Structure 1
Amino acid sequence: MASTEASVPRLHLRVANKKAYVWDVEDIATIRTKHRLCGVFTGTLPHMSQQNLFLGVPMVLLPEEVVLLVENELAVLVDDPNAHIQPSVPELQRWNAKEKELAQLRLAQLNAAIASLPAVLSEEAMQKRKERELKRQAAAAKAAEAAAEGSIFAPPENAPPPPPPPEPQYTVVIPASSISFEWYNDSACHYTTIQSAKEAGIWEYPSNLHERAKCGVFRGLWEQGMYMGGGIKFGGDYLVYPGDPLRYHAHFSATVLESPTFSLTPMEIVAHGRLGTVTKKSHLLCGWDDEKKEVSYLSIEWAGFG
């Protein structure tokens, strides 16, 4: 497959247990905005670790998305477990010393930030300041009333202007990054083709006719500018969106058929049509021709008579 963007550096998809993960946030943005692939977030967010509604990094790609990226020469597959190098004892000791030095630096920065903060007023001092403010406001109101006795339009001349509120000052401490990649090397275990990844045993999709049909249908819809997501909740293989799913509703729920002449029972046709109509979608039957490498499409929509 010819490269569509030959000058763009290839993305690294970290493969573990036959699944492809994307950990880099910039790579996730590139996959979403430039390559029109959505993936699925599976990581918990640090500040909301007990919820499962809004998830974060890493992003897991559908197998069809992985095949599309690799065949278009947009990504490479990385054998993530074998990319980790076992450190030696001296290396661990050096790392521990570096971490200890970094912790001391952070503690010094924190102490300096605390020392620069204004002193916290006691409760008694805060009460006295509040009383002074009330007296000042009462005096200003009395002066304004006395100045306005001759004319209701006379402005208060002797009323002192209220003091401006003190500007809050914040000290933000940004610690240096402690992430180290010296024990991670993926240069010797990345694969540029699906076949080479299969031979290495880290990837196996597609391995049969049905999986080839899903890859072919996915590519066919993607090349027409569509976005795809999982469609199991709507009785299909994919949900097909005309644009980014964050902005558009799906127009189709798509089912992949292994052949353009694949047999369907009348009950299946009725079920697809009724379910698509209830969910305000058309159901798309996508027949894959494995010899011609082509896809044929047929939409089903329930219609009333009489």
Structure 2
Amino acid sequence: MSMDGRIHLRVADKKAYVWDVEDIATIRSKHRLCGVFTGTLPHLSQQNLFLGVPMVLLPEEVVLLVENELAVLVDDPKAHIQPSVTELQRWNAQEKEFAQRHLALLAVAAKDSPGMSEEAVKKRKERELKKAAAAAAKSANVSSAEPDSSIFAPPADPAAPPPPAETQYTVVIPASSTLFEWYNDSTCLFTTIESAKAAGIWEYPSDLHERAKCGVFRGLWEQGMYMGGGIKFGGDYLVYPGDPLRYHAHFSATVLESPTFALTPMEIVAHGRLGTVTKKSHLLCGWDDEKKEVSYLSIEWAGFG
């Protein structure tokens, strides 16, 4: 987020991404925009049921945020700075130094435990850390009023060797920003859709249909609705009365380029039947490009007689 409080939308290949978790929370909680997560989760990269950062926004959501002066567009590829040869050499030297220090400390630990390889020492340290964490969690959950459970534990073997002393060491690694500047978006920010179009990083809306979608999206949003993609339900949007995590969609909405846009009887029947099967009303949203207004007509299948 920039100094003036605007959210930075990182644009790459004509798509806007949000990488900052706090910005994602702000967009959803304060601005009622949901976006779609597209990133895989750490250690679960093969599954696609639960996704994470980054979040990609619908083009209509991007236009709404920028026009309301809530966000700015960033030319993300240009914001990445290619380091110089000198900076890369300095980085490699730092990495080599850290690796040597780490190996030296492992050698000291191995010297304290003769007969054990560096890999064995490393594994033993990991086991000791896990045991210490489990013991700390257990002691935190046990009330001081409870009787001492140590009397139920087996007696210690006097012939057993004492546990090895825990050796702790710290390797301080500075942040990469102290080595060289790798990202700077101050020279490639765009505060309006028009300036982003002129720079060639953004092109939405580019025709009447896309202007109609932006207008309808804004009209529903200004009425307090949440919107999501509606392609699976035969429309442009799904319209929710509240956060989609708490509510089902009440409408599937179709954007029409004009309030007098022609529809065939078959289309009207299809919208009505599909909306009824999915327990929704179908919303026809006609956009008046001259007046910049939206007219709404809902279709709901009803019985006769």
- TM-score w.r.t. structure 2 length? 0.76
Equivalent-residue separation in structure 1 for 2:298 and 2:17 (angstroms): 33
Distance 1:258 1:9, change over 3 A: same
Greater radius of gyration (CA): 1
Aligned to 1:209: 208
What secondary structure sits across from 1:90 in the alignment?
helix
- Asked whether the 8 Å contact 2:261–2:286 carries over to 1, the reply is yes
Distance 1:14 1:44 in 2: 18
**Distance across 1 between alignment mates of 2:264 and 2:172:** 63
In 1: Cα distance, 2:100 partner to 2:233 partner? 55
Letter in 2 for 1:79: D
Closer/same/farther in 2, CA of residues 87 and 259 from structure 1, 3 Å limit: same
Specify which of 40, 58, 69 is matched with residue 62 of structure 1.
58
Counterpart of 1:152?
A: none
Q: CA deviation at 1:116?
A: 9.4
Task: Give, as a single letter, the amino acid of the residue that structure 1 aligns with 2:231.
Answer: I
The equivalent residue for 2:186 is 187
> Deviation string for 1:12-42 (max 9, x for gaps)?
1010110001111111111111111111111
**Matched letter for residue 78 of structure 1:** V
* 1:165-214 deviations in Å (ceiling 9; x for gaps): 69xx9x9x998685547121110011000000000000000000000000
Mapping of residues 90-239 of structure 1, within 5 Å: 90-103=86-99, 163=151, 178=175, 180=177, 182-239=181-238
Confirm or deny: 8 A CA contact 2:282 2:298 kept in the other structure.
yes
Which ranges of structure 1 fall in alignment gaps of 5 or more residues?
A: 1-6, 120-159
Q: Could you tell me which residue of structure 2 aligns to residue 82 of structure 1?
A: 78
**How far is 1:48 from its partner?**
1.0
Partner Cα separation in structure 1 for residue 58 and residue 126 of structure 2: 51
One-letter code aligned to 2:287: W
Deviations 1:255-283 (A, max 9, x none): 00001111111000000000000000000
Partner of 1:71: 67
Q: Is the 8 A contact 1:85 1:185 kept in 2?
A: yes
Q: Is the 8 A contact 2:83 2:181 kept in 1?
A: no
Cα distance in 1 between the residues matched to 2:24 and 2:218: 19
Alpha-carbon distance in structure 1 between the residues aligned to 2:151 and 2:274: 68
Any idea what the Cα deviations from partners look like across 1:102-158, whole Å, max 9, x if unmatched? 456667888699559659xxxxxxxxxxxxxxxxxxxxxxxxxxxxxxxxxxxxxxx
Take 1:108 and 1:247, find their aligned partners in 2: how far apart are those partners? 55
The verdict on how the C-alpha distance between 1:286 and 1:107 changes in structure 2, with shifts beyond 3 A counting, is farther
SS at match of 1:276: helix
2:98/2:171 contact within 8 Å kept? no
Residue 163 of structure 1: how far off its partner (Å): 1.9
Q: Quick one: structure 1 residues 79 and 162, their matched pair in 2 at CA, closer, same or farther if it must change by over 3 Å? A: closer
**Could you say what the CA RMSD is over the residues aligned between the two structures, in angstroms?**
3.0
Summarize the alignment of residues 6-85 of structure 1 with structure 2, pairs less than 5 Å apart: 9-85=5-81
Q: Aligned pair count?
A: 257
Identity rate, percent:
82
Q: Label 1:11 to 1:228 Cα distance change in 2 as closer, same or farther (>3 A).
A: same
| Aligned partner of residue 57 in structure 1, secondary structure | strand
Does 2:259 correspond to 1:263?
Answer: no
State the AA in 1 paired with 2:229. Answer: G
Pair 1:263–1:98, CA change in 2 (3 A): same
Q: Do the aligned partners of 2:286 and 2:295 also contact (CA within 8 Å) in 1?
A: yes
